[in-house]
Amino acid sequence: MNDLSGKHVVLGLSGGIACYKAAEFCRGLTKAGATVQVVMTESATRFITVATMQALSGRPVYTDQWDERQPNHMPHINLGREADAVVVAPASADFMARLAQGRADDLLSLLCLARPIERVPLLLAPAMNREMWAHPATQRNVAQLQADGAVVLGVGAGDQACGETGDGRMLEPEELLYEVQRHFQPKPLQGRHLLVSAGPTFEAIDPVRGLTNLSSGKMGFAIARAAHEAGAEVTLVAGPVGLPTPRGVRRIDVKSALEMQAAVQAAVPQADVFVSAAAVADWRPASAADQKIKKDGSGAVPTLAFVENPDILAGVAASERARNGALYCVGFAAESHDLLAHAQAKRERKGVPLLVGNIGPDTFGRDDNALLLVDAQGSTELPRADKLSLARQLVGEIARRL
């Protein structure tokens, strides 16, 4: 996706071994559609070459405040005026300390200080040893930078170049890219809490077999990401899927419909919106065998008895918080035919204000989808697109209806 199409990012590199990650981050920015202007401190050039960053960005790299390529000899003014955002990755402890004090003794710090603060955001990706990150001076500087309007993206935890382990690592390139993409998304759900269910459920027949469906969970995970981008706190209750957790999202893994029901009910009291995107099995075996059911060669087929699973969405929609308007419920319907008629009937049966329909065989496991939004006023089609784009449209519709 060209999420950053038309955006111009100044990518600043201060000194640190994490400069090697900046190369992949730069590449990710350009692939997402952004133009990237790299500015490096002298220390950064000790860790990665100007030639590397120039090749990846496709633009000349700036390192010197006295660079004569600018006609007015003011790159610290010109580069900041041209930017939609300034991202410093890595941001060393020393660089953040100088920013917190308002010092401006090299091109990158000059540029950060001289940028039009009201329209050019500053995003900082700290990178340092765990003791440096935990030091009161660093934490004091981080707090000051945040108070001054900078966005400090936080750090990762794990092995460090010094051989120690802990907090202080720079975020990975894909995490940084997400944070930049998220920054440019509108925030209509700021202050809201969304609860999303996603994926299939698995109802055990015996220890190695079960009843499930073809849902991949991709649509629900995309909704969780889009809601977080839109400023919401997000809790994701996920059935058994092999998808990475969207950054910033709290994930609860479950397997069966009963487990999903318990997790959803526990999270509902904190939620403002419940999006029931999971494909919950309608039935489960009345009892699961303790051991694998074996063939004996006779051709006899075991008899299975089923019981109906609880209707998670209908139960939440009937709750007091939903009835008094404190909780907005959104349902999903995966159908094989007659989508509009089935979606309208399901919306009324479940008692929800908004029902999202799709044709299951056309979307299960795929990266794209087409949605039909059904409410009391009628229906609206969202044409086929990648699932994240559709999720963002759906989140916008939810925010508007709230």
**Contacts for 300 with CB less than 8 Å, ≥ 6 apart:** none
Cα–Cα distance between 162 and 132 in angstroms, integer?
A: 12
Closest to 128 (Cα-Cα) out of 95, 87, 177, 105: 95
Beta bridge partners of 369: 385
Beta bridge partners of 331: 276, 355
Cα–Cα distance between 222 and 304 in angstroms, integer?
A: 36
Catalytic: which of 19, 26, 112, 162? 162
Would you mind telling me the total number of residues written for the chain in this entry?
402
With contact defined as beta carbons under 8 Å apart, do 327 and 274 qualify? yes
Whether 162 sits among the annotated catalytic residues: the reply is: yes
**Contacts for 357 with CB less than 8 Å, ≥ 6 apart:** 332, 333, 334, 335, 339, 340, 342, 343, 346, 371, 372, 373, 374
Q: What one-character DSSP code corresponds to residue 301? A: -
Residues catalogued as catalytic: 162
